Amino acid sequence: MPHEQGDGKLIRKHILVALVEDRPGVLNRIASTLRRRNFNIESIAVGHIEIPNLSRMTIVVEADDNKVEQVRKQLDRLIEVIRISDITNDNPVAREMAMIKVKATPSTRGEIIQVVDIFRANIVDVSADSLIIVVTGDEEKVDTLIELLRGFGIREMSRTGTIALPRGGAGPLTIEENKPLRHVVEHVAPEEENLPNW
Amino acid sequence: MIKTGAEILCECLVKEGVEVIFGFPGGVLLPLYDTLPKYPQLRHILVRHEQGAAHAADGYARVTGKVGVCLATSGPGATNLVTGIATAHLDSVPMLAITGQVPTFFIGKDAFQEVDITGITVPITKYNHLVLDTAELATAVREALYIAQAGRPGPVLLDIPRDILQGRTEFIFPDKVDLPGYKPRLYGHPAQIKKAAELINSAERPVIIAGRGVNISKAFSELKELAEKSQIPVVTTFLGIGCFPESHVLSYGWLGMHGMGYANKAVYNSDLVIAIGMRFDDRATGVVSSFAPNARIIHIDIDPAEIGKNLTVDVPIVGDIKNILQVMNKQIVKRDHIAWLTQLDELRSIHPALEVRDHEGLLPQYVIKQIHEVTGGDAIIVTDVGQHQMWAGQYFFYDKPNSLVSSGGLGTMGFGLPASMGAKVGAPDETVWCICGDGGFQMTVQELATMAQEDLDINIAIFNNGWLGMVRQWQELIYEKRYFGTKLYNPDFVKIAEAYGIKGRRVTRKIDVRPAIEESMAHRGPFVIEFLVEPEENVYPFVPPGKTLVEFLEMPRPTVNLKK
């Protein structure tokens, strides 16, 4: 939850999304930059996108706005980072997935299935003494389900971390056809380009 | 045409205009060292320690503005470059570090002399890359050299395994570099430039702080035009020294912990700071929360990540300084700022920090002044790090860009001697003075052998005070003279020089200073002068840590001068 730090700065979760080149070492560089600025990464998710040789990263960190903007610029400076944007204020659709293996006896199984149904989660594996449940949703939903299942005994679990897309038409990372990947192309006078305001 | 990886590397370096490589061979580099003789256009200078190669490439790059190239073998060779790479990183120096790597089939198996140098150098390079295919080598070299000097320059490391150097492939020199993730912004935003110009036109007490970015962007005439048109005083950072002639009537020295008192006061009392190509380093700003408390701040820098990093600015402009100032100068109106400049001139007369006091013993400040007089200021001064570095900044006057070469950001002791080799190789027609302390000199003393072998005409002044002087000064002023770990037992520096086949002189008296300087300058080849200077001399002004820029200590001056 957002909270104030001692110096009055508002600490909250930020969702950074980045387009990066799909090459070895990129994740290391990004993690190293965040570590240097003393960020604790809440989650990081990486996967291929519709354009070959590019990946999209979703990084969730908790810090004040200025600090996040500073590290965003430092991440943008990395050669392999093509674009990076903080979409926290764009009301993004943010989801994560969790797999939870929960203890289940004949007497508790029915109750667990009820809880799973309420959360519109799925049971993907059933064995004599346990169930594997898959849930998709925002962080709060996943947290709540985990809390409810805790009473039955969680044996193992795994979460993907958040992935997010901004709502509506073109987002900050949308790559339009025949447009350069980057806002700024060298040697093009600034009037011709839509630059951020500085 | 089919070529080996080693040949492709050399071909690319030649095509990119590289002339000098500072290197040290090793097992995995043998294929390259077998190839280098076929490319006499690439002058190879054999250093005595890889750290020397990195600093020499750094000195070369600072003087020429071109990319400095250093070369080291895998494992210990590569790790020895690390200090030099970090030095270049903090001062935005274009450098290409090439390291050999164990063959690809050995990587990750703790092979002999294997180290993960791309992993080690992630935080201290602008970019690094492990080449895993001979066919991508040409592209990798091109990209590396482009990245090193484009936008905000910095060091780039290429790690090349032995089998990649030995592999054969068709050599195609890529005709362009395509890096979708790296397009530095070269032009400032017109609206921001307009806002800045309006602030400048309406300011009553403006001051320009010019940093090394002006040197990198070669925006000397544009800076001069801005200052002269609007009669704005110019203060530089330590690394910005020389980007604006210090003999100019609008030059007010450099600011910071050991900067001139009047420069610090000019910034503190200003109502507008125009920061150009500088990054508000803590040594330059003092306590950052009370840096220029009444001023609006315009910050011009090519690196967006510098904007707002250390302090909040009112008008940021991201882009190349030269382009930005060209546009901005057209919108600047003529002003005279007579009251403000008069006020600053008064400050300058109250804080004449740069007079050498009357003293019987040999003062380091006196020696620097003498070097300035004998050279007429027409020299490249390369310093090490410590007290002598500050005195070299204070008591020598720099009118030419890039005439002071010094490790500012990292403060690397041992930088001076190897960097002066690079400076001399890069500017063979210039007089080069290397100014060292007795501490830092011994950190890279082995490079005297390189100088002797290459017969580099470098004047080396060792300021021997028998202490690690800057640390001793802090122990004196902040730790109540509890000296510990700072007294040096020194060798005979003249004999050291002679052992390397280099001429040396020791100077203990004021009267011998000038003749020794003149002898060194007349001598062809390296020449070492050991000055036995006043042991407990302090650098003033001094802004103690945790203080604002104007709370500087000045040299204690006797209230009554008995000599007069």
Q: A155 and A86 in one domain?
A: no
Q: Is the pLDDT of residue B543 over 70?
A: yes
Given a contact cutoff of 8 angstroms between Cβ atoms, the answer to whether B19 and B45 are in contact is no
Give the rounded percent of residues in chain B with a pLDDT score beyond 90: 91
In a domain, A132, yes or no: yes
Q: Is the pLDDT of residue B562 over 60?
A: no
Q: A152 and A103 in one domain?
A: yes
Q: Per residue in B176-213, pLDDT tens?
A: 888 888 888 899 999 999 999 999 999 999 999 999 99
Q: Per residue in B377-396, pLDDT tens?
A: 999 999 999 999 999 999 99
Given a contact cutoff of 8 angstroms between Cβ atoms, the answer to whether B73 and B111 are in contact is no
Q: What pLDDT, on the 0 to 100 scale, is given for residue A24?
A: 86
Q: Stretch B126-144: mean pLDDT, rounded?
A: 96
In a domain, A32, yes or no: yes
* Contact A148/B at CB under 8 A: no
**Does the beta-carbon distance from A82 to B180 stay under 8 Å?**
yes
Q: In the numeric block, which tokens belong to residue B289? A: 């929360």
Kind of pairing, strands A130-137 and B68-72?
unpaired
Q: A102 and A70 in one domain?
A: no
Minimum-distance CB partner of B181 among A79, A186, A191: A79
For residues B499 and B449, give the distance between their C-alpha atoms in angstroms, rounded to a whole number: 9
**Does the beta-carbon distance from B190 to A181 stay under 8 Å?**
no
> What is the ipTM for the molecules in this complex?
0.84
Kind of pairing, strands B2-4 and B168-170?
antiparallel
Q: What pLDDT, on the 0 to 100 scale, is given for residue B182?
A: 87
Band of residue B556 on the pLDDT scale cut at 50, 70, 90 = confident
Q: What pLDDT, on the 0 to 100 scale, is given for residue A102?
A: 97
Question: What are the φ/ψ torsions at residue B202 (nearest 5 degrees)?
Answer: -100, 0
Q: A100 and A31 in one domain?
A: no
**Does the beta-carbon distance from B122 to A190 stay under 8 Å?**
no
- CATH no. of B190-350: 3.40.50.1220
**The domain B364-532 is classified under which CATH number: 3.40.50.970, 1.10.8.60, 3.10.105.10, 3.40.630.40?**
3.40.50.970
Q: What pLDDT, on the 0 to 100 scale, is given for residue A181?
A: 59
pTM: 0.93
Contacts of A137 (CB under 8 A, 6+ apart): A95, A96, A119, A145
Q: What pLDDT, on the 0 to 100 scale, is given for residue A178?
A: 61
Which of A90, A120, A139 is at the close of a domain? A90
In a domain, A63, yes or no: yes
**Range with the poorest average pLDDT among A121-135, B146-160, B425-439, B540-554:** B540-554
**Does the beta-carbon distance from A186 to B192 stay under 8 Å?**
no
Minimum-distance CB partner of A81 among B181, B308, B318: B181
Q: Stretch B512-538: mean pLDDT, rounded?
A: 97
Residue B545: Cβ within 10 Å count: 12
In a domain, A152, yes or no: yes
Q: What pLDDT, on the 0 to 100 scale, is given for residue A86?
A: 93
Which of A71, A90, A109 is at the close of a domain? A90
Q: A42 and A101 in one domain?
A: no
In a domain, A113, yes or no: yes
Q: A21 and A49 in one domain?
A: yes
Residue range(s) defining the domain that contains residue A151: 95-159
* Contact A79/B at CB under 8 A: yes
Q: A11 and A71 in one domain?
A: yes
Domain count of chain A?
2
Domain coordinates of chain B in residue numbers? 2-170, 190-350, 364-532
**Residue of B118, B122, B133 to mutate when probing chain A, most A C-beta within 10 A:** B122
Q: Is the pLDDT of residue B320 over 70?
A: yes
Q: Stretch B232-237: mean pLDDT, rounded?
A: 97
Give the CATH number for residue A69.
3.30.70.260
DSSP H helices, B161-307, are: 162-166, 190-202, 212-217, 220-230, 261-269, 282-285
* Average pLDDT value for chain B: 95
Q: A18 and A71 in one domain?
A: yes
Q: Stretch B503-519: mean pLDDT, rounded?
A: 97
**Range with the poorest average pLDDT among A44-53, A102-111, B483-492, B548-557:** B548-557
- Work out the burial of residue A117: count CB atoms within 10 Å of its CB; fewer than 13 is exposed, 13-18 middle, 19 or more buried: exposed
Contacts of B29 (CB under 8 A, 6+ apart): B23, B71, B73, B74, B77, B100, B162, B165
In a domain, A57, yes or no: yes
Q: Which of B132, B300, B110 is nearest to B216 (CA)?
A: B300
Q: In the numeric block, which tokens belong to residue B176? A: 């362009």
Amino acid at B533: V
Q: What pLDDT, on the 0 to 100 scale, is given for residue A179?
A: 59
Q: Per residue in B446-462, pLDDT tens?
A: 999 999 999 999 999 99
In a domain, A189, yes or no: no
Q: Stretch B261-285: mean pLDDT, rounded?
A: 95
| Ranges of chain A whose pLDDT falls below 70 | 6, 177-198
**Residue of A21, A188, A198 to mutate when probing chain B, most B C-beta within 10 A:** A198
In a domain, A58, yes or no: yes
CATH superfamily, region B2-170: Thiamin diphosphate (ThDP)-binding fold, Pyr/PP domains (3.40.50.970)
Q: A8 and A74 in one domain?
A: yes
**Does the beta-carbon distance from B118 to A79 stay under 8 Å?**
no
Q: What pLDDT, on the 0 to 100 scale, is given for residue B428?
A: 97
**Does the beta-carbon distance from A198 to B317 stay under 8 Å?**
yes
Q: Measured between alpha carbons, how far apart are the two ends of chain A, in Å?
A: 32
By C-alpha distance, the chain A residue nearest B143 is: A79
